[in-house]
Structure 1
Amino acid sequence: MFNKEYDVIVVGAGHAGSEAAAAAANMGCSTLLVTMNLQNIAQMSCNPAMGGIAKGQIVREIDAMGGYSGLVSDTSAIQFKMLNKSKGPAMWSPRVQSDRMRFAEDWRLRLEQTPNLDFYQEMVHGLIIENGRIKGVRTSLGIEIKAKSVVCTNGTFLNGLIHIGDKQRGGGRAGEAAATGITKDLIDAGFEAGRMKTGTPPRVDGRSLDYSKMVEQPGDEIPGKFSYSDETKPLSKQRSCYMTYTSNEVHDILRSGFDRSPMFNGRIKSLGPRYCPSIEDKINRFADKDRHQLFVEPEGWNTVEVYVNGFSTSLPEDVQFNALRSVAGFENVKFFRPGYAIEYDYFPPTQLQHTLETKLVDGLYFAGQINGTTGYEEAACQGMMAGINAALKVQEKEPFILQRNEAYIGVLIDDLITKGTEEPYRMFTSRAEYRTLLRQDNADFRLTERSYKLGLASESRMRKMEEKKEKSLAFVSFLKDTSVVPEEANPVLADYNSSPMKQSDKIFKIFSRPNIAMDDVRKFPGVEEYIQENNLDTEMLEQTEIQVKYSGYIQKEKNNADKLNRLEDVKIPKNFDYSKIKSMSFEAREKLNKVQPTNVSQASRISGVSPNDISVLLVYMGR
């Protein structure tokens, strides 16, 4: 069957594997996607949603890079919300509620229509490694498939163990077997491995719920979308989610099962996501809270299955059921399946290079939860980057690396390989020191041209981005050059108790004032005519408003990023021996020898390395 050597083999077809396979194949590499179940490609194992705080920015970046996550999110969406609109644009984050079945179906169909991509359903049981280089994979049937590079995206399947109360069973996801063999091969090759935990809430029958006792959570009145392309359109109708609360009664029922909880009786020893705790962890850690929010999320347009967001748990099924029946609106709830926790193997990401290629085995890449992350979006962007770099390596081209000031993707990967993680890593806007530059609205400006040069973003995407950029900048110039007299501006300013003008001034300066919005500026003479004559769409107007309102902050961050990039240019030789720099702290020498940073900027971000240590390093390197 497999008498050819593939350029790239991708192991696993979750969000990371799907993006990795798409990227490598679209870059012209012969690619094989191997998964245990072809019916579950890009399965939403946990909540039926994409995006959210910082995660929405990542999906936009994937889309700007020519990935599929944004497109699939749009075509399978049942609700759209732009979160944090009350804050500055650096915090705005798009999120969609998805139709779980449509999401997986659309992903599969897109992959099937991708040239250069083959599929095979079977468990990968081992890796073929010879003389420090990957040579292919070995399946559970003993079939050896050769490849020039391999991307491992195993998710929660590596020696996965599912916990429900005091019951345990092997599995990588409900109803699916765990994957074995790969961990042993990697440990034999010298890799360090660890265990992590994640969890999921019960799924229930929506027909058994009383929504009149809950608070409705509709989507945006004017919904947006993820993809910058014209291939998808905003939703014309939406489904609502709902919100309800736990209570002291619910908490007491949950506590009654703590003695059978694997979280508290020692069966689970690994760490779970800090920012997505189980319901038992919440009531234990926040004992002073008499209630917690639960979000009741439909799983699709037509299905009655409902996801109970906020009730992730590994308590015994009877405790889960009795506790949920005490929640307002859930008095007659029927379960589709109980919640559970899952433990799985991961490999500390400090063992990777910025390309996501492993340091120990040439041509082997890791992406997704195998690196200690949590979340569809975090996995998808790693998969895309691993697929891109695996393809570039096969093609003998320069690697593709995004810096921290270029993308949230760059922040995520740099955090992982520089700092490592001992708990499931989740992206937040606070992790990005240049978040004013890394907004969801300008991901196409930042990344489309780079993706176009890789052969991923299409010509039409490139032209669309250039038009948006040119027209937005031209409109900013128009506002800087056009004046308005007090009689025309003061009525608008009075609406916001803003100081009246005493003489003519540029519209740009008035627009810069707090509370003055684009709708106000459009009332000034000549502005609406300019917008209509130049066919400025909503995205162009939004981009213009942000450039006017936040130009000072944006410039300040650009200046800071330029300073950082100077340290990026100070390269450190491969396998540099830090132990010989005696004037550097012992901790710094130990951490630097372990991580082996490629430049001084990366070295400065390693936990335990002080500014004084960096000064010593710069002196030692003649800088």
Structure 2
Amino acid sequence: MTFNYDIIVVGAGHAGCEAAAAAANLGSKTLLITMDMNKIAQMSCNPAVGGIAKGQIVREIDALGGYMGIVTDQTAIQFRMLNRSKGPAMWSPRAQSDRARFIDCWRGILENIPNLSIWQDMVQELIIEHGQVCGVRTGMNVAFHAGAVVLTNGTFLNGLLHIGRTQIRGGRIAEPAATGLTEQLISLGIQTDRMKTGTPVRIDGRSVHFDEMEEQLGENDFHKFSYLETSHRKLKQLSCWTTFTNEACHHILREGLPDSPLYNGQIKSIGPRYCPSIETKIVTFADKTQHQLFLEPEGETTQEYYLNGFSSSLPLDIQLRALQAIPAFRDVQIYRPGYAIEYDFFDPTQLRPNLETKQIRNLFFAGQINGTTGYEEAGGQGLVAGINAHINCHGGQPFILGRDEAYIGVLIDDLVTKGVDEPYRMFTSRAEYRILLRQDNADMRLTEKSYQMGLAKQDRYDLLREKKESRDAIIRFAETYSVKPQYINSGLEKLGTPPLSHGCKLFDVVLRPQTTLENLADLIPALRTELDKVPAFRKEEITEAAEILIKYSGYIKREQIIADKINRLENVRIKGKFDYNSIQSLSTEARQKLTWIDPDTIAQASRIPGVSPSDINILLVLLGR
């Protein structure tokens, strides 16, 4: 019996779900293969989506027509906008989700997408003919044929779990590892290596002394992940809780270090530097007497809690005793211990910018298989891989996002240009144009592109046009409406900002840090009338978008000029033109890195780690630019 598809997606984690949905929604006959249909889009680590820079990725996935933002909104049990004390380029949405409902919601979406089928099985072999992937063969010895295959295997490729000196083969706790694929890919010339990640203990909330912890409330304003009108938070909103480790806890943890897989030689692969285990924290920061912990609810009705900040692979008894040394956890009961997991990944510099492998045509990699960590990074890669797999099967130009267009563009360019030496996690600092890549304008940046290729649907595009027209109308009003001192000065003084000495445009008044469009509307009836023209359900979102463009207009224009300049430099070739070691005005690190990599273009040089913008400016001066 023959089973034929346009695209096969292997793995139904966050990358696989977005890849399969995108390919099917674009019109490809798609098959999603997963080892367990009850674990689709499983949140393997913490039950949360978003965060610093990650929240921007989720908004971009949504703007492009993906589903992570929609699912998160519908299953959220707490929402917060992080970094509010900073400028809007740093604002990052984050939500706690109900883990079980997250899975149910994703499965419900996937099972109702036309062109998309699901098969429960383990893929053990790729079918390769003449240097091109043609399908897969599964553990049930079923052959599926397709024009393109997207691998999104997460931590399952030869996964090995560690709890103290105990080792268990698996991709997640109580789930088997995937075998066969790594060995085949190595035989085809693809380089592989091992990485390590980990997850904390899960706690029974009934055993926690919440009165000895600090409550962390969520927010209930208009912010959310999806730009769609129909996406809203539906579940009861819950609190997170914070506490700290102490010296007694640290003493017990130190006692367990001889049995720690991280320190007894059992684990040899590299773990995430920016999300270290608790045993790594007490060793690296030996002078610290405490470390903050966050207790996060796993769902609306469950008693299960996730202890963020206490990732560990120490023996079970050590983990439990260390927790019981913390006052709030003195009577703690746990559902399961924390553990570390080692798994295979493939050097992402072996990929093209469309996430297709260089060695095998129409084979795509996305997610942790590329050395990344995080649901959001995986989802962004999966979406791009699914789009490009469809394009490879049906024709068209590769879909590649620039570094000035999306955090997803930064992510993929970093992977394929720089590679990874530790699990890659997105930060705002990785994006040189983060003023352009704000969470509020992801739809303005990306929905038009998605609509033109047929992924974003008409309703989403109509919402974008309506938002842009309303936003721009507010900005035009601010640019043309004249404000006179005698009518506004008393109100400005009450807002804590100096009075006007002469008349000016409203735009200039909005630039002041103490003023907002909303509080100025209380002083200027004409502005209130203008704001009231905005559709009620989007009034706050659109007003905020207009205000950000007004207040930060100078910074935005300046950064756009820089982005345009760098984009032009993609065609400025420098290979063989410089003896970098002789250019003393470059930093020492830049001279070393430029000599080692010998970039083809100025733009490529600008993306090498350790080469700063000032180093690039020096090269431009030497080129007469």
What per-residue deviation string (whole Å, max 9, x for no partner) do you get for residues 287-326 of structure 1? 1111111111110000111111110000000000011111
Looking at structure 2, the residues matched to 32 and 68 of structure 1 have their Cα atoms a distance apart, in angstroms, of 18
Secondary structure of the residue aligned to 1:329 is: helix
Residue 478 (structure 1) shift: 0.3
Secondary structure of the residue aligned to 2:475 is: helix
Secondary structure of the residue aligned to 2:423 is: coil
CA contact (8 A) 1:584 1:616 kept: no
Residue 603 (structure 1) shift: 4.8
Residue 602 (structure 1) shift: 3.0
Normalising by structure 2, we get a TM-score of 0.93
Looking at structure 1, the residues matched to 548 and 89 of structure 2 have their Cα atoms a distance apart, in angstroms, of 10
CA contact (8 A) 1:57 1:93 kept: yes
Structure 1 equivalent of residue 562 of structure 2: 560
Looking at structure 2, the residues matched to 475 and 80 of structure 1 have their Cα atoms a distance apart, in angstroms, of 28
Counterpart AA for 2:170: G
What per-residue deviation string (whole Å, max 9, x for no partner) do you get for residues 493-516 of structure 1? 323543321222111101101221
CA contact (8 A) 1:583 1:616 kept: no
Matches within 5 A, 1:472-487: 472-487=471-486
Looking at structure 2, the residues matched to 581 and 480 of structure 1 have their Cα atoms a distance apart, in angstroms, of 48
CA contact (8 A) 1:588 1:610 kept: no
Structure 1: 5+ residue stretches without partners: 573-577
Structure 2: 5+ residue stretches without partners: 582-591
Residue 192 (structure 1) shift: 1.0
Instruction: Give the fraction of aligned pairs with identical amino acids, expressed as a percent.
Output: 56
Counterpart AA for 1:533: K
Residue 146 (structure 1) shift: 1.4
CA contact (8 A) 2:128 2:135 kept: yes
CA contact (8 A) 1:348 1:371 kept: yes
1:124 matches 2:132: no
Structure 1 equivalent of residue 532 of structure 2: 532
Matches within 5 A, 1:335-484: 335-484=334-483
What per-residue deviation string (whole Å, max 9, x for no partner) do you get for residues 449-478 of structure 1? 000011111101101111111111111110
Structure 2 equivalent of residue 86 of structure 1: 85
Structure 1 equivalent of residue 225 of structure 2: 226
Q: 1:493 to 1:304 in 2, by over 3 A?
A: same
Matches within 5 A, 1:65-104: 65-104=64-103
2:544 aligns with one of 534, 542, 545:
542
Structure 1 equivalent of residue 327 of structure 2: 328
Counterpart AA for 1:73: T
Looking at structure 2, the residues matched to 329 and 617 of structure 1 have their Cα atoms a distance apart, in angstroms, of 57
1:141 matches 2:140: yes
Residue 617 (structure 1) shift: 11
Counterpart AA for 1:545: E
Secondary structure of the residue aligned to 1:311 is: strand
Looking at structure 2, the residues matched to 587 and 330 of structure 1 have their Cα atoms a distance apart, in angstroms, of 49
Q: 1:496 to 1:611 in 2, by over 3 A?
A: closer
What per-residue deviation string (whole Å, max 9, x for no partner) do you get for residues 555-612 of structure 1? 001100100111235589xxxxx7x88967897576369xxx7x65235423488999
Looking at structure 2, the residues matched to 591 and 362 of structure 1 have their Cα atoms a distance apart, in angstroms, of 26
Looking at structure 2, the residues matched to 65 and 99 of structure 1 have their Cα atoms a distance apart, in angstroms, of 24
Secondary structure of the residue aligned to 1:62 is: helix
CA contact (8 A) 2:235 2:300 kept: no
Which range moves more in the overlay, 363-372 or 218-227?
218-227
Structure 1 equivalent of residue 216 of structure 2: 217
Looking at structure 1, the residues matched to 555 and 578 of structure 2 have their Cα atoms a distance apart, in angstroms, of 41
Counterpart AA for 1:81: R
Looking at structure 2, the residues matched to 467 and 173 of structure 1 have their Cα atoms a distance apart, in angstroms, of 45
Structure 1 equivalent of residue 588 of structure 2: none
Q: 1:582 to 1:294 in 2, by over 3 A?
A: closer
CA RMSD, 1 decimal? 2.4
CA contact (8 A) 1:80 1:96 kept: yes
Looking at structure 1, the residues matched to 530 and 73 of structure 2 have their Cα atoms a distance apart, in angstroms, of 31
Looking at structure 1, the residues matched to 298 and 434 of structure 2 have their Cα atoms a distance apart, in angstroms, of 32
Structure 2 equivalent of residue 575 of structure 1: none
Structure 2 equivalent of residue 277 of structure 1: 276
1:58 matches 2:57: yes
Which range moves more in the overlay, 67-76 or 560-569?
560-569
Counterpart AA for 2:74: T
CA contact (8 A) 2:517 2:543 kept: yes
Secondary structure of the residue aligned to 2:442 is: helix
CA contact (8 A) 2:3 2:143 kept: no
